[in-house]
Amino acid sequence: MTRRVVITGLGIISPVGHSPEQFFGNLLAGCSGIKRLQNDFVDQLSIRIGAPVEDFNPSDHFSKIQLTGIERFSQFALVAAEQAVQDAQLALDESEQQRAGVYMGSCLGGASTLEDGYVEIFKRDNPRIKPLSVLLSMNNAAASHLSIKYRLQGPNITYATACSSSAIAIGEAYRQIKHGYADVMLAGGSEAMLTLGAMKAWEALRTLAHEDPDDAAASCKPFSKNRSGLVLGEGAAVLVLESAERAIRRGAKIYGELAGYDCSSDSSHITKPDAAGQTRTILNALRDAQLRPQDIHYVNAHGTATLAGDIEETKAIKQVFGDHAHSIPVSSTKSMHGHLMGATGAVEFMAAVLALQHQAIPPTINLLQPDPECDLDYVPNQGRTGVHIDAAMSNSFAFGGSNAVLIAKRFVA
């Protein structure tokens, strides 16, 4: 049994927007959410830039009692999911709730709660920590809150595969519907790791971008000769997926069809990306979508702005698309919203879906000195409108060699 899967609802809380419309409008305009952080611990960092979610007041969405049991990353997920459910006008009766589930991605879950607990025990010698620390910090907290709020009684799984976590969550949710195990899924990712411990860990790994001396917002420079690394961000993105038959029957708005997905492992190195593994994943996703390489009109790249990563992804795109590689627009929106780790695949797939809907392509900003080894059309610095997009691809290539590719296309009944 195979069924077509469509996207009927979108919701997002990100460094560049608190709604899908604001998010995509700012991306298209080349607005950066990257800045010098104002956290109280920033003086303890060598690299002090990030992509925070600003103007987010939890008390606007949750009561004081609720907030005692809902961590920041779960707050993001709940607000993004509420947007998506309202956008889809999703209403499930009791029998439908039994065939609806939630798949989410997150790398660190409740990072703030974990760090607060460590501070109390190891720094302040306080044996008492928050009674709900486990429930606040566990990676599956966000998905569990969504399942409870919407009475989703089908599968409830959280994926932690580094940068590909939420792309895999969306892809596996798609398979649940495609093969008849569920009719509706909430799928996406959430992350809130702009904490002292997480940032110090990434700082130690020497993969974070140096702050641009002229403009902190320009610090992330994917595919540029002078790129220096990634910028950490936070936020959440959630999509409503459902069978095409169900969506048509209820007259739902359809953003597009989730037509192709694959995940695979490089099985070669825990941090070094591998063009061969990426190529294999893209080809398998195209095969799943029953599309040829030339049918893809936009690629939202993983594009982290690391020295090796951008080159290997460029090689993979060339290997897959051949002569078409230089004519297909490829952009890295991480140049604006930063790297949201466990949420980044969902955020970037949403950017691809909105590009499909608006027939417009967001740019790769800060691309002023192209790397000779990165010689594709990266849509430098200015977005494009009035383009033709029938199918868009989103790449997610993670530490651990965990690769995921998602393909959305126009829905034709």
Distance CA 410, CA 6 (A): 10
Fold of the domain built from segment(s) 5-249: Peroxisomal Thiolase; Chain A, domain 1 (3.40.47)
Q: Considering the chain, what percentage of its residues have pLDDT values greater than 90? A: 99
Q: Which residue among 31, 107, 163, 263 is the active-site one?
A: 163
pLDDT tens string 222-253 = 999 999 999 999 999 999 999 999 999 999 99
Sign for the CA dihedral angle at 77, 270, 225, 45 comes to positive
Asked if the model's pLDDT at residue 1 lies above 80, the reply is no
Q: What is the mean pLDDT of residues 187-207?
A: 97
Check if the beta carbon of residue 301 is closer than 8 Å to that of residue 222. yes
Domain-wise residue ranges, the chain: 5-249, 261-409
**pLDDT category, 127, cuts 50, 70, 90?**
confident
Mean pLDDT value across the chain: 97
Give phi and psi for 353, each to the nearest 5: -65, -40
Residue 144's CB: how many other CB atoms inside 10 A? Answer: 17
Residue 163 a catalytic site member? yes
H-state helical runs in 1-131: 20-28, 64-67, 72-88, 94-97, 111-118
Coil, helix or strand for 276?
A: helix
CATH superfamily of 261-409: Thiolase/Chalcone synthase (3.40.47.10)
**pLDDT category, 303, cuts 50, 70, 90?**
very high
pLDDT tens string 137-162 = 999 999 999 999 999 999 999 999 99
Distance CA 408, CA 104 (A): 19
Give Cα separations from 142 to 67, 158, 291, 315, 343 (angstroms).
13, 9, 34, 36, 12
